[in-house]
Amino acid sequence: MKKLLVVPNLCIGCRECELMCSLKHYGVFNPALARIRVEYDAEANCYNPVICEQCEDAACVESCPAEAVSRDPQTGVIVIDQEKCTLCLTCVEECPNHAINIAPDGTLLKCDLCGGEPICVQFCSKRPEMSSPLMANPEGATALIVGEK
């Protein structure tokens, strides 16, 4: 199954990933509508992209009383059915990565890997560094790589 992997210390906090995500999904540049979120960690003095890690035993799926959060059988990606969602926010509370965001209109936002070609990966300014031999094994690893996990 594909998932986005974060490579520590490469994110520069430009937030281009947030802008491109909102543009792809909503047709506007608005970070509040992004399914990826870049947070600054003052203690570590670095930026951290917060994304869905497509957990194997996904707490968001297991905890949803309306069965609105599920794994797409074809892609393996965890998706939210907005029509089934009751906005109880249980999935938001249960996500260990805090990767489910609440849009200004109250709907839930979660990375869907853009159908297999994440726009954030395509536009990340740090992506060229991913070609480095030093990054050949980004284990544990910014929304820079789409990897099999």
C-alpha torsion 101→65→58→14, nearest 10:
0
pLDDT tens-digit profile of 109-126? 999 988 888 898 888 887
Instruction: Specify the pLDDT at position 136.
Output: 44
Q: Per DSSP, what are the bridge partners of residue 102?
A: 108
Percent of the chain with pLDDT over 70: 83
Rounded Cα–Cα distance for residues 88 and 97 (Å): 18
Instruction: Give the pLDDT score at 127.
Output: 67
| Structural domains of the chain, count | 1
How far apart (Å, rounded) are the C-alpha atoms in residues 2 and 56?
12
Q: How far lies 144's CA from each of 4, 14, 108, 118, in Å?
A: 7, 13, 23, 9
Instruction: Answer with the residue of higher pLDDT: 76 or 33.
Output: 33
- Structural domain including 126 reads 2-54+98-148
Q: What is the Cα–Cα distance from 84 to 67, expressed in whole angstroms? A: 7
114 within a domain of the structure (yes/no): yes
pLDDT band at 8 (very low <50, low <70, confident <90, very high): low
